[in-house]
Structure 1
Amino acid sequence: MAGTAAALALTLAACGSSNDSSSMPGMDHETKASASPSQSASPSMGDMPGMEHMADGTGLSDTQYGYRFVSKDATLPSGKQTTYRFTVTGPNGKPVTSFALDQTKRMHFYAIRSDLTGFQHIHPTMAPDGTWTADLASLAPGSWRTFASFTPDSESGKGKDFVLSRTVTIPGNPTRTPLPAPDTTTEVDGYTVAVKGEPMAGMAHPLTVTVSKDGKPVTDLQPYLDTYAHLTAFHEGDQSFAHLHPTTKVTGDDGGPDLAFYAELPTSGNWRLFLQFQTGSKLHTAALTLHVG
């Protein structure tokens, strides 16, 4: 995650969760949202742990530096589990089959509806010919955007992080869900997640996420994708993508209660955050609304 205001600077998302999005708290905007107080100086990007894997841009294009996110799936069925297939082609026009590991996975795939509901974060599988298959949970009618996050392990893009996206339509009569107002706390599965920080558009600012339960600090966060939490953010209106790993060092099954992040979001306005953390081998996904000035 690194570059143009690195539309990838807030990240704690539900990686690998292919459960029905309706069963994920916050995925339908029904939980309390979260925003931020406290402000600090903006260190140089090169000095920030966790910023070295940030991709360029906002993730709203299907092409970058000759690499292209390709799929024949322009529509998908609604109301049931479905499969989305795609390839990543390189500058030579051929499917890429060599990818580097990023947080233990060669591909991170995201799907979210235009009103920022229905969030899914999946780790698809790749066939020998470079075709990826993502098994999606039930999708509500409307316009969705799918994101492919990857790092080529060969050719001109070797070692460079990409986030590319495409739109897909789910037929039916969509019902738009209003985005919850910004707040500083939210709850999921009995856990309270609080966010402190005042990110400004185009500038790197520290954020602190604190996890508690029944009023007590949580100190049993387990490593998830080589980190204690995964945070993904989407901008209200255009669905720009942002992703950042916490800078807190992983030492074992004793993470928390505080997790440190650097947030660099390219545009002002409201961002919907999806924070994923794991306890007792169970993945939790908290949804937060953060206002960026």
Structure 2
Amino acid sequence: MQVEETVTELARVAAREVGRGSEKLAVPTTGALLAAARSLAGAPALDAAVLTGFFIPAADRPAAETDGPIGAVQLAAALRALGGRVRLTTDAPCAPVVEAAIAAGAPGVPLDVAPLHEYDRWAADVLPRYRRLTHVIACERVGPARDGRPRNMRGEDIGAHTAALDRLFAAGPAYRIGIGDGGNELGMGRLPAELVAAVVDRGESIHCGTSCDALLVGGTSNWAAAALVGALALLRPEVSALRDLLRPEWSHEVLRAIVDEAGAVDGVRRRAEPSVDGLDWPLYAEPLEHLAELVVTAGGPAR
């Protein structure tokens, strides 16, 4: 199987339907996974930021959800393995979970934490650096809906718990990659509003209008991030660390760490447990196993 065909299959596996319309949302994004991977793998001086963290204020114990930080740290580890510079970015409410994910999956990767108060002052300090980046990736990071407010899948306004990281995502000439699963994440403005409205419950009101250069849609955002790591592994087969990151065990270790050490919650169940978007580990791990198998089976040099 040619690399291009395998990457297409990676995208299909990552978009597995879990009840939010991901397979339909993914249709207009054909070719985006390969384009994103080629842009990252071919950057001569890769310097990236990965934005993540989706806060669940109505959880039993409010915290960031398990979808997003795992994939974001997986990508950060992958970009570092490629020899690039990379940092994670989140906001204060989500910071404990993202910090735990970094400690478990990519120790030493720097983290920028945006405050909810005096955000403008903080943003003014960091924006010059973000404008010099080659790539900005948003992995399951909520963005503003048509009314300017960040909304969860239930249509609830979570602006009181969310910093405006969309301003960093859109800063400068960086190649922007959006990763999402429900239409309300940064990058989803790449999709037609009428499609999101037709496919996603409350899609008309929650659709994030912030666009990107390449949009990756997953049944969970973590799956789409893993698919991007898989595509990088196919394009850069000499970097064995990329294949190591695709082991489901790697994801399981990070999942357990963010739940046990930082109280990360399942965004659907709103409880701190080792599941993602209502999927217990065996079901959640199936696409991860499939993605890893595709990369191993493809093997050989990139073509």
TM-score normalised by the chain length of structure 1: 0.28
Higher strand content, 1 or 2: 1
Higher helix content, 1 or 2: 2
TM-score normalised by the chain length of structure 2: 0.28
